[in-house]
Amino acid sequence: LGGDSCTSFPNVDFIFNTSRKSLGDFMALTSLRRIFAKELPKFGIENLKTLTYSKDCSTLLLRRKAEIIGGMVFRILSNAAAELCLCAICRPHHQKGYGTLMMRKFQRHLFATNITTIVTAADHGAVEWFRKMGFADETEEIKWKG
Protein backbone atom coordinates (compact mmCIF):
# COMPACT_ATOMS: atom_id res chain seq x y z
CA LEU A 1 0.00 0.00 0.00
CA GLY A 2 1.37 3.38 -0.95
CA GLY A 3 -0.11 6.58 0.44
CA ASP A 4 -0.49 9.93 -1.28
CA SER A 5 -1.14 12.92 0.98
CA CYS A 6 -3.56 15.73 0.22
CA THR A 7 -2.62 19.19 1.46
CA SER A 8 -6.08 20.82 1.34
CA PHE A 9 -7.56 18.22 3.72
CA PRO A 10 -5.25 17.65 6.70
CA ASN A 11 -4.73 14.08 7.86
CA VAL A 12 -6.12 12.69 4.58
CA ASP A 13 -4.34 10.47 2.12
CA PHE A 14 -5.16 8.11 -0.72
CA ILE A 15 -4.01 4.58 -1.35
CA PHE A 16 -4.20 3.00 -4.78
CA ASN A 17 -4.26 -0.75 -4.26
CA THR A 18 -3.92 -3.21 -7.10
CA SER A 19 -2.59 -5.98 -4.87
CA ARG A 20 -4.72 -8.40 -2.92
CA LYS A 21 -1.80 -10.22 -1.29
CA SER A 22 -0.95 -8.98 2.20
CA LEU A 23 -2.88 -9.03 5.45
CA GLY A 24 -2.81 -5.22 5.40
CA ASP A 25 -4.42 -5.21 1.95
CA PHE A 26 -7.12 -7.59 3.15
CA MET A 27 -7.83 -5.54 6.28
CA ALA A 28 -8.09 -2.29 4.28
CA LEU A 29 -10.40 -3.93 1.73
CA THR A 30 -12.55 -5.34 4.52
CA SER A 31 -12.91 -1.86 6.03
CA LEU A 32 -13.97 -0.56 2.63
CA ARG A 33 -16.40 -3.45 2.08
CA ARG A 34 -18.08 -2.58 5.39
CA ILE A 35 -18.52 1.01 4.21
CA PHE A 36 -20.01 -0.23 0.93
CA ALA A 37 -22.37 -2.55 2.84
CA LYS A 38 -23.71 0.39 4.88
CA GLU A 39 -23.82 2.98 2.10
CA LEU A 40 -24.81 0.74 -0.84
CA PRO A 41 -27.18 -1.85 0.68
CA LYS A 42 -29.03 -2.47 -2.61
CA PHE A 43 -25.91 -4.06 -4.13
CA GLY A 44 -26.13 -7.03 -1.77
CA ILE A 45 -23.31 -8.32 0.40
CA GLU A 46 -22.23 -11.07 -2.01
CA ASN A 47 -21.88 -8.65 -4.94
CA LEU A 48 -19.95 -6.24 -2.73
CA LYS A 49 -17.59 -9.01 -1.60
CA THR A 50 -17.05 -10.22 -5.16
CA LEU A 51 -16.16 -6.77 -6.48
CA THR A 52 -14.17 -5.57 -3.48
CA TYR A 53 -11.89 -8.60 -3.35
CA SER A 54 -11.70 -9.29 -7.10
CA LYS A 55 -8.22 -9.66 -8.57
CA ASP A 56 -9.61 -8.05 -11.73
CA CYS A 57 -10.31 -4.80 -9.87
CA SER A 58 -8.22 -2.06 -8.32
CA THR A 59 -9.11 0.05 -5.32
CA LEU A 60 -8.72 3.67 -4.33
CA LEU A 61 -8.93 4.02 -0.56
CA LEU A 62 -9.54 7.34 1.18
CA ARG A 63 -7.96 7.40 4.61
CA ARG A 64 -8.33 10.05 7.31
CA LYS A 65 -6.20 9.83 10.44
CA ALA A 66 -5.28 6.23 9.53
CA GLU A 67 -8.98 5.20 9.24
CA ILE A 68 -10.54 4.15 5.92
CA ILE A 69 -13.50 6.52 5.39
CA GLY A 70 -14.31 5.76 1.77
CA GLY A 71 -13.15 4.40 -1.50
CA MET A 72 -13.74 3.17 -4.99
CA VAL A 73 -13.46 -0.16 -6.74
CA PHE A 74 -12.68 0.05 -10.44
CA ARG A 75 -11.39 -2.00 -13.31
CA ILE A 76 -9.48 -1.02 -16.40
CA LEU A 77 -11.27 -1.77 -19.67
CA SER A 78 -10.01 -1.72 -23.21
CA ASN A 79 -10.06 1.44 -25.35
CA ALA A 80 -8.58 3.77 -22.71
CA ALA A 81 -11.56 3.36 -20.38
CA ALA A 82 -12.18 2.37 -16.77
CA GLU A 83 -15.33 1.08 -15.11
CA LEU A 84 -16.15 2.57 -11.72
CA CYS A 85 -17.84 -0.38 -10.01
CA LEU A 86 -18.35 0.96 -6.47
CA CYS A 87 -17.91 4.34 -4.84
CA ALA A 88 -18.84 5.43 -1.31
CA ILE A 89 -17.88 7.61 1.64
CA CYS A 90 -19.06 6.64 5.14
CA ARG A 91 -22.04 8.68 6.26
CA PRO A 92 -20.37 10.80 9.00
CA HIS A 93 -18.11 12.23 6.27
CA HIS A 94 -20.84 13.04 3.72
CA GLN A 95 -21.22 16.64 2.52
CA LYS A 96 -17.68 17.58 3.57
CA GLY A 97 -16.01 17.44 0.17
CA TYR A 98 -14.39 14.03 0.57
CA GLY A 99 -16.34 12.46 -2.32
CA THR A 100 -15.36 15.29 -4.66
CA LEU A 101 -11.76 15.08 -3.47
CA MET A 102 -11.70 11.33 -4.07
CA MET A 103 -13.26 11.59 -7.54
CA ARG A 104 -10.78 14.28 -8.60
CA LYS A 105 -7.89 12.12 -7.39
CA PHE A 106 -9.31 9.16 -9.30
CA GLN A 107 -9.72 11.20 -12.49
CA ARG A 108 -6.16 12.56 -12.28
CA HIS A 109 -4.76 9.09 -11.68
CA LEU A 110 -6.56 7.68 -14.71
CA PHE A 111 -5.65 10.62 -16.93
CA ALA A 112 -1.97 10.19 -15.98
CA THR A 113 -2.19 6.60 -17.23
CA ASN A 114 -3.84 7.64 -20.52
CA ILE A 115 -7.32 6.54 -19.50
CA THR A 116 -9.75 9.20 -20.66
CA THR A 117 -13.17 7.62 -20.11
CA ILE A 118 -14.88 6.40 -16.95
CA VAL A 119 -18.02 4.30 -17.30
CA THR A 120 -20.37 3.73 -14.39
CA ALA A 121 -23.96 2.89 -13.58
CA ALA A 122 -25.71 5.04 -11.01
CA ASP A 123 -29.03 5.02 -9.22
CA HIS A 124 -31.19 8.12 -9.35
CA GLY A 125 -29.75 9.46 -6.10
CA ALA A 126 -26.19 9.40 -7.44
CA VAL A 127 -26.81 10.70 -10.97
CA GLU A 128 -26.78 14.36 -9.96
CA TRP A 129 -23.52 13.94 -8.03
CA PHE A 130 -21.89 12.31 -11.05
CA ARG A 131 -23.08 15.18 -13.25
CA LYS A 132 -21.51 17.63 -10.79
CA MET A 133 -18.26 15.68 -11.18
CA GLY A 134 -18.31 16.26 -14.95
CA PHE A 135 -19.98 13.05 -16.09
CA ALA A 136 -22.49 13.10 -18.95
CA ASP A 137 -25.36 10.72 -19.64
CA GLU A 138 -24.76 8.43 -22.59
CA THR A 139 -27.40 5.80 -23.24
CA GLU A 140 -27.89 4.00 -19.94
CA GLU A 141 -24.38 4.71 -18.74
CA ILE A 142 -22.84 7.78 -17.20
CA LYS A 143 -19.41 8.64 -18.61
CA TRP A 144 -16.62 11.07 -17.80
CA LYS A 145 -14.30 12.16 -20.56
CA GLY A 146 -11.11 13.86 -19.44
Express each pLDDT in 108-121 by its tens digit: 999 999 998 888 87
- Chunked mean pLDDT (size 10), the chain, 146 residues: 56 82 86 95 92 93 93 90 92 90 91 87 73 71 58
What are the domain boundaries of the chain?
A: 2-145
Report the candidate in 34, 138, 131, 140 with the shortest Cα–Cα distance to residue 89.
Answer: 34
Structural fold of domain 2-145 = Aminopeptidase (3.40.630)
pTM (predicted TM-score): 0.81
* CA–CA dist 22, 68 (Å, integer): 17
pLDDT of residue 37: 96
Torsion of CA 109, 60, 141, 127, to 10 degrees: -110
Q: Where are the alpha helices (DSSP H) in the chain?
A: 23-39, 45-53, 98-112, 124-132
Return phi, psi of residue 106, to 5°: -60, -50
